[in-house]
Structure 1
Amino acid sequence: MKAFWVGDNRNSPNWGRAASIALCELLETRFEITGTITGELFVLSSSDAGFVRTITPNRYYPFFRSAWERRGRRPYAWYIKLEQLFGAHDFISGDPEQSLKSLLANRRRHPVLQRIYKQAEAADIIVIDGDGDIVFSNPPRRQTLFILAMIELGLHLRKPVCLVNCMVSDCPTSGRNDQTLNAARRLFSKCHLVSLRDPESLRYVRAEMRDANAAYVPDSLFAWCSEALAGPSRDLGDLPGFSGSAGQAHKLDLTRPYICIGGGALAASHPDLARTSYGKLVDAMQRLECNVYVTENDTPDMYLRSVAKERGITVVPADAPIRTCASLLAHARLFLSGRYHPSIMASLGGTPCIFLGSHAHKMGSLAGLLQYDERKEFCAIPDDAEIEHIVSFARNYLQQGESLRARIREVSASLCAQVAGLPQLIANSTIH
């Protein structure tokens, strides 16, 4: 069966690309992947298929995109206003039906849109990786609207559509967007499968979208538990890092126990505050007599480089070899992060995690999924008092040693077994 995969992030410069690699490996056990859409197309600033009906010829679209990114400054602001005056607009809108009409009307002029259409048309099934992108925020996320538009396209072409790896949530900061939720409610009810990666998302969908064929399957990244992540280290000392003090590349010193600290999306939206807070967090973790390494799990976490530079510690960059990054976290004594997939990587080897806040329920739900006794989610940018609370948690986890690690590995292995059934679940959903 030929599958068109929407949301292929295998080449993204962040550690979440591991989940896409794992999903690809799962899908290929049952399907032939004949077309893909990368996650770059979900975001207007990185997309080669965004604005349509521009005055600028399509072959110069990178220039338009560059001007759009600088639209807050003259003369770019004038140019963008002129383009919009003559009808230029994002083909993705708040109404998925309108997004489909725009794609169909403009696909022959825009090669990327034509490629999307042709790949979907040639496939037997459309598989969409929802990841953490389905959040009903105000204003709506383009990522969410893009996913809804791709469901609309699949239904237009009369193809089975399956959503997988999904987190679905209201936005805790801006509140619920009822228009986007209503559109999702209509479209989810027509999908052959809506696979949710955590029980909280499953409860949400069953409450708000009762006609959806919803199921719970853990995140695809748990499938990597079948690799030797819990076994002997795989050349971790060769993992590229660079010194914060001198900016020089060198090997990590893993002869002593070590703790890893990563960033988070919510923290990255306030980099100055995060830089100060994470600096204090590093200082506090160094009191636990372990080496401390900073992991730049996504490009917005670059503020961590300043933290590392000020303290002369090593930072592992976002584009480091991903399987070795997974092994690094799996062998740490402790991992602190507001990032979902790096926390799963750590859990595969039994590494206890201290969960920091995010834009939605993902970190709290992961603590529940991994069956932590106390499912605590700390503030994304902890203050002094909360840092001391984190230190207390860290000491407790370190004192539990191998008994806690074994329990986390056991839960991860159980989740791995559940993930293995995803390809067959997708296939079964297409049988009427």
Structure 2
Amino acid sequence: MNILFIGDYRSAANYGSIATTECLIDLINSKVSANDDMKIIDRRSYDHSTPKAGFNQTLKYRIRKKIPLRVWQKMQHVRNIFRRTPPLPYSIESYMNLYHVPCLYKQFETYFNKMDGGNILQYEKELLEWADIVIINGEGTIVNGVNQHGVYNGGGRYTIYMAWLSKIKYNKTTALVNLTVDPGNNDAWEMLIHTLPHLDYLYLREPLSIPKLADHGISNGKYVPDALFSYEEDESVVYDIKQAFNLANNYMVLGDTSAFNETEYQSSVRWDVEQFYDKLIPRLQALDVQVVLLDGFNGKNKQIDCAYKRLSRKHNMPIINLSNCDYHRLYAVFKHSKLFISGRWHASILASLSYTPLLLFGSDSHKTKALYKILDYPYPFFDVNTLPLHIDEIVEAAKSILADTSIVNHLKVYVGKAALVSKNNVDFL
């Protein structure tokens, strides 16, 4: 069997992208035989037109050239500056033609004709023709986000279009898994309505997407928890986390959210993030716990990066990010944490897997709210857009959780259920 896996996010400087992709590939590998072959399209193809021979292997290239990670990240940042969306030309039609995937459903056939004629997506065309089955990692692609010209986010469009090509044009067995659907955009919904009902397997990583699909007449979706729930700790490896980050016996982790992001397709929240944390942190420290900052952006969001550094100096807090703590070590950090306050989906799953209590706020979609439903979680959830108005409630909820002796056992029950079912992400193999 020839397996095409679309959506390898291991090259992203993001905890969830790396961890979930590794778990999903591990699940696939557990099902395939030595006679099966798997080829991969990684996340760079979502953002930029793939060269016909494919992209260079980033990690291998960096190691071969002996380029340090931080230097490589700066090189990538500079390169991306020149790859940003160009200014709007005279007509919106000519502007839309600059993209390597369609902006609207009505363009799907036109782009396929370009592809079939050898003009675009030749790397994808060759792999789609080769494959017997196509597995697409939905990740966080089909969420809110429209750029300054009204175009829905590129990751979501690439995901949907690859699924449409695979099933409608190449008639391949197609599975779109590990997916959240919350685009907040009618153009995206039109693409989804003409694509998702035709897929052989449509697995949603959280339950709140199911009724949204039903509202748009899509009924073939099935809830299968995020592949990250299948993560299992390597107990043979012991991380001396407390010494590495100078952690006290009692500490909690305070994180950010993708809603703080500011990209081509996504605008940050309107309120002052640094001012909010500056008020919240001393209130949490007064609960007799050390507060540790978790930077989910890994320094890529310069506004948050600078704010975190100032807050760290002012309130004497360590900062954890992907550069100094991979997701295996982050799991170890959570194992000893008393609480995780955040709007991060995957980091919150890692925390729940270690039975660390949560206090969550919103993200770029309904996903973090959905985690409360998965875990039947009894504590309040906060709207990210009005978060500064609820500092008192956050502190009171944190105080209640720290005194709650039953919450860990509650998490063990519901996390255990999700972990068991998450292995069904590849049950069609």
Establish whether TM, by shorter chain, passes 0.5: yes
Tell me if the contact between 2:144 and 2:364 (Cα under 8 Å) persists in the aligned partners: no
Aligned-pair CA distance for 1:167: 0.9
**Structure 1 length-normalised TM:** 0.79
> Is the 1:34–1:119 contact (alpha carbons within 8 Å) kept by the matching residues of 2?
no
Whether contact under 8 Å (2:233, 2:328) holds in the other structure is no
Identity, in percent, stands at 21
* CA distance in 2 between partners of 1:48 and 1:237 (Å): 44
The equivalent position to 1:421 in structure 2, one of 411, 417, 424, is: 424
Counterpart of 1:102?
111
Deviations 1:380-430 (A, max 9, x none): 5622x51111110011111013x2112212211111111122222x33xxx
- Residues 1:127 and 2:135 are matched in the alignment: yes
Q: TM-score, normalised by structure 2?
A: 0.80
Deviation string, structure 1 residues 203-245 (Cα, Å, up to 9, x no partner):
22233233x4221100111101x3268x99633246xxxxxxx
- Pair 1:168-2:168 in alignment: no
- Consecutive unaligned residues in structure 2, runs of 5 or more: 52-76, 262-267
Q: Are 2:415 and 1:408 equivalent residues in the alignment?
A: no
After TM superposition, the structure 1 = structure 2 runs for residues 367-378 of structure 1, keeping only pairs within 5 Å, are: 367-378=372-383
The residue aligned with 2:30 is: 29
Q: C-alpha displacement at 1:136, in angstroms?
A: 6.3
Residue 126 of structure 1 aligns to a residue whose secondary structure is: strand
Structure 2: how far apart are the matches of 1:236 and 1:423? 34
Q: Does 1:144 align with 2:144?
A: no
TM superposition shift of 1:182: 2.2
- Contact persistence 2:178–2:425 (CA under 8 A): no
After TM superposition, the structure 1 = structure 2 runs for residues 208-227 of structure 1, keeping only pairs within 5 Å, are 208-210=216-218, 212-224=219-231, 226-227=232-233
Indicate conservation of the 8 Å contact 1:337/1:354, yes or no.
yes
> 1:191: Cα distance to partner?
0.3
Shift of 1:378: 4.2
Alpha-carbon shift at residue 331 of structure 1 (Å): 2.6
1:193 correspondence with 2:201: yes
After superposition, the CA RMSD in angstroms is 3.1
Cα deviation code 1:250-305 (max 9, x no counterpart) = x2123412110110111331487111112222222111111111011123352433
Q: Which residue of 2 aligns with 1:267?
A: 260
Do structure 1's residue 91 and structure 2's residue 100 form an aligned pair? Answer: yes
CA contact (8 A) 1:96 1:148 kept: no
- Does the 8 Å CA contact 2:139/2:180 hold for their aligned counterparts? yes
Displacement of 1:362 in angstroms is: 1.1
Structure 2 CA distance for aligned equivalents of residues 233 and 407 of structure 1: 26
- For residues 267 and 179 of structure 1, the distance between their equivalents in structure 2, rounded to whole angstroms, comes to 24
Contact 2:255–2:340 (8 Å) recurs in 1: yes
Tell me how far apart the structure 1 counterparts of residues 27 and 95 of structure 2 sit (CA, whole Å).
Answer: 46
Partner of 1:348: 353
- Select the structure that is richer in strand: 1
Unaligned runs of 5+ in 1: 51-61, 172-176, 239-250, 428-432
After TM superposition, list the pairs within 5 Å mapping 1:29-428 onto structure 2. Answer: 29-31=30-32, 32=36, 34-43=38-47, 47-49=48-50, 66-69=81-84, 71=86, 89-96=98-105, 98-99=107-108, 101-102=110-111, 105=114, 113-135=121-143, 139=150, 140-155=152-167, 156-171=169-184, 177-210=185-218, 212-224=219-231, 226-227=232-233, 234-237=239-242, 251-268=244-261, 269-270=268-269, 273-298=272-297, 299-300=300-301, 301-302=304-305, 303-319=307-323, 320-379=325-384, 382-383=387-388, 385-401=389-405, 403-424=406-427, 426-427=428-429
Residue deviations 1:85-126, cap 9 Å, x none?
Answer: 79961122223563564366358878x932222222222111
Aligned length: 382
Q: Give the 3-state SS of the residue equivalent to 2:404 in structure 1.
A: helix
Whole-Å separation in 1 of the counterparts to 2:94 and 2:191: 28
